DNA sequence: GGATGAACGTTGCATAGGCAACACATTGTA
DNA sequence: TACAATGTGTTGCCTATGCAACGTTCATCC
């Protein structure tokens, strides 16, 4: 494929992502064509295919970058899964979902599903990375840790998503106070690597 | 040279101009290097030379485009040099100069001179174009018309420039009331093509 | 059922842009 | 004076992008 460091490549990919984000704001995912993206990005349609297999791959990348941008510095650097880190993850996830539903026309169920899956996966990876950084408690093999991360990520994501349709939806503090103890208790001895 | 319609060319030239305008806001013209421009435009230095002979050519183009953007629609379309058109030209010229001195660091005398010359030339061409659109009065050959345009452009530019350092500098209405009669009287029978 | 048109994804070729290197000029400085 | 450092403008080679064309699929319409 293309050389990811070539300045032309960097620029072209930025154009494509920006065009796509822009289009998502006024059109549903299904309604967006490759031609639309190429036109708005002022690149040739063939060039699009030099960088992305299709618009699903583009959605994947855009989602991932947006998630990375949303993760606070403290979480990215965290050495242990503390209550503070947990809170930040909950809030960041919630904010991501809110922004996402506000900015994108959601006529497409397929897109919502894809983004759901992607974000859950990113969350789980982020959590697993933190778990693996701490000293592992006795008997915690890598496999078991990844399951714990998967459950934790799913729980956080599920709760944050559910919170969209709740009366108290603006009370993110309530959300945090509900999710944090659930997750931390569920983790039990795994959380700090000091159990 | 390069094909001026190729989208890559259009983008690259836009990048270069934008970078240059941006640099002019924080650096003097003399202090700006081609490397600076290329870096900020995220293009290769060699690519700059594919589009502009040097930074003087770039300055020339940027000045010209800015001037075109500043000219009101009515003036661009004018069929005769009326008082209304005259007023608009005076105001546009004045605004151009004000913006120019506000936005650009003027450590370089050479640049000020170049821009001065360029703008005067553009003004004169604009005026000559309007003159030549109207029916020409008896005895008005093309040569004579161009001299009238040159004087008119110089007068307007000179006055607008002078107005920078005047106590009433904000009273552009006063400026207009001084310049308009001078110019219109000077033109005498040439102005409408109806003399 | 078949025609039409739109979007997709791919291809070969032409051209613009990136890169590294060069010679030259200018400037600062030891 | 000599020198290093920096900017200028140019060159040859390689890669990314633009373009036009193609066959394909799918939806719409007669």
pLDDT in tens, B2-22: 899 999 999 999 999 999 999
Domain B7-52 CATH class label: mainly alpha
Q: Region B97-107: what's the mean pLDDT?
A: 84
End-to-end CA distance of chain B: 47
- For A142, residues 6+ apart whose C-beta sits below 8 A from its C-beta are A132
Q: pLDDT per residue over B119-132, tens digit each?
A: 999 999 999 999 88
Q: What is the mean pLDDT of chain B?
A: 89
Q: Indicate if CB(A3) is under 7 A from strand D.
A: yes
Per domain, the residue ranges of chain A are 7-52, 62-190
- Binding residues for strand C (Cβ < 7 Å): A 5-8, 33-35, 45-46, 49, 53-55; B 2-3, 6, 8-9, 11-12, 42-44, 46-47, 50-51
**Would you state the pLDDT for residue B161?**
92
pLDDT in tens, A82-130: 999 999 999 999 999 999 888 887 766 778 888 988 999 999 999 999 9
Confidence band for A195, pLDDT divided at 50, 70 and 90: very low
Question: What is the reported pLDDT for A136?
Answer: 61
3-state secondary structure of B80: coil
Q: Which residue has the higher pLDDT, B87 or B191?
A: B87
Residues A148, A190 contacting (CB under 8 angstroms): yes
Question: Which range, of A102-116, A181-195, B114-128, B166-180, averages the lowest pLDDT?
Answer: A181-195
Name A130's Cβ contacts closer than 8 Å, sequence gap at least 6: A75, A78, A79, A80, A81, A85
Tell me how crowded residue B22 is: count the other CB atoms within 10 A of its CB. Answer: 14
| pLDDT of amino acid B195 | 36
Report yes or no: B191 and B81 within 8 Å, Cβ to Cβ: yes
Q: Coil, helix or strand for B69?
A: helix
Find chain A residues with C-beta within 8 A of B7's C-beta: 42-44
What pLDDT, in 10s, does the model give residues B59-79?
999 999 999 999 999 999 999
Convert the pLDDT of each residue in A139-154 to its tens digit. Answer: 567 888 889 899 999 9
Contacts of B42 by beta carbon, 8 Å cutoff, 6+ apart? A7, A10, A11, B15
pLDDT at B129: 93
Least Cα distance to B153 among B69, B73, B96, B74 occurs for B96
pLDDT band per the 50, 70, 90 thresholds, residue A66: very high
How many Cβ pairs within 8 Å bridge chains A and B?
10
Report CA dihedral (A166, A172, A177, A180) to the nearest 10 degrees: 100
Mention every residue, 6+ apart, whose C-beta is less than 8 A from residue B46: none
Q: pLDDT at residue B140 above 90? A: no
Mean pLDDT of A23-51: 95
Contact criterion met (CB below 8 Å) for B64 and B52: no
B71: left (phi over 0), alpha (psi -120 to 50) or beta: beta
Per DSSP, the residues of chain A read ---TTSHHHHHHHHHHHHHHHHHHHHSBTTT--HHHHHHHTTS-HHHHHHH-SSHHHHHHHHHHHHHHHHS-HHHHH-SS--HHHHHHHHHHHHHHHHHHHHHSB---HHHHHHHHHHHHHHHHHHHHHHHHHSPPPTT--HHHHHHHHHHHHHHHHHHHHHGGGSTTTT-HHHHHHHHHHHHHHHHGGGTTS--
> Do the beta carbons of residue A191 and residue A132 sit within 8 Å?
no
The beta-carbon neighbor of B42 closest among A7, A42, A43 is: A7
Q: State the Cα–Cα distance between residues A91 and A97, nearest whole angstrom.
A: 10
Does A44 sit within 8 Å of B11, measured CB to CB? no
Instruction: Name the nearest CA neighbour of B183 among B164, B144, B157, B163.
Output: B157
Q: Among A31-40, B11-20, B100-109, whose mean pLDDT is lowest?
A: B100-109
Q: What is the per-residue pLDDT for B188?
A: 75
Collect all residues from B whose CB is shorter than 8 A from any CB in A: 7, 10-11, 42-44
Q: pLDDT at position B139, please?
A: 59
d(CA B59, CA B29): 9
Query: Is pLDDT of A23 > 90?
Result: yes
| Cα(B131)–Cα(B47) distance, integer angstroms | 40
Dist CA B152 CA A45 (whole Å) = 50
Q: What is the model's pLDDT at position B187? A: 84
* Chain A residues within an 8 Å CB radius of B11: 42
Q: Phi and psi at residue B82, in whole multiples of 5°?
A: -85, 175
In angstroms, the CA A42 to CA B7 distance is: 7
- The reported pLDDT for the residue numbered B194 is 45
- Assess contact for A41 and A19: CB atoms under 8 A: yes
List C-alpha distances in Å: A180 to A78, A90, A129, A151.
17, 8, 19, 13
Residues in chain B: 195
Pairwise CB contact (< 8 Å): B44 & A7? yes
Degrees to nearest 5, angle at CA B72 with B89 and B91: 35
Summarised one tens digit per residue, pLDDT across range B8-60 is 999 999 999 999 999 999 888 999 999 999 999 999 999 999 999 999 999 99
Strand C positions closer than 7 A to protein CB: 6-12, 15-21
Q: Determine the Cα angle at A120 with ends A118 and A125, to 5°.
A: 95
**pLDDT for A137:** 59
- pLDDT class for B135, splitting at 50, 70, 90? low
Which of A91-100, A110-119, B100-109, B186-195 is most confident?
A91-100
Mean pLDDT of chain A: 89
Considering all nucleic acid strands, name the nucleotide whose C1' atom is nearest to the C-alpha of residue A8: D16
pLDDT band for B192, please (50, 70, 90 cuts).
Answer: low
């Amino acid at each position: 494929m293309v050389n990811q460091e070539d300045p032309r490549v960097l620029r072209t990919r930025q154009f494509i992502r920006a065009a796509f984000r822009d289009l998502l704001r006024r059109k549903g995912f299904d309604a967006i064509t490759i031609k639309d993206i190429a036109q708005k990005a002022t690149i040739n349609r063939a060039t699009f295919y030099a960088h992305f297999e299709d618009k699903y791959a583009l959605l994947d990348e855009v989602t991932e970058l947006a998630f990375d941008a949303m993760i606070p510095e403290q979480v990215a650097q965290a050495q242990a899964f503390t209550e503070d880190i947990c809170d930040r993850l909950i809030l960041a996830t919630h904010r991501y979902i809110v922004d996402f539903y506000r900015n994108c026309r959601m006529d497409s169920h397929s897109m919502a599903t894809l983004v759901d899956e992607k974000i859950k996966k990113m969350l789980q990876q982020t959590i697993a990375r933190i778990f693996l950084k701490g000293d592992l408690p006795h008997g915690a093999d890598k496999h078991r840790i990844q399951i714990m991360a998967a459950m934790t990520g799913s729980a956080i994501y599920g709760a944050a998503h559910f919170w969209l349709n709740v009366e108290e939806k603006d009370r993110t503090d309530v959300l945090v106070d509900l999710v944090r103890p659930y997750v931390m208790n569920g983790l039990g001895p795994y959380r700090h690597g000091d159990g």
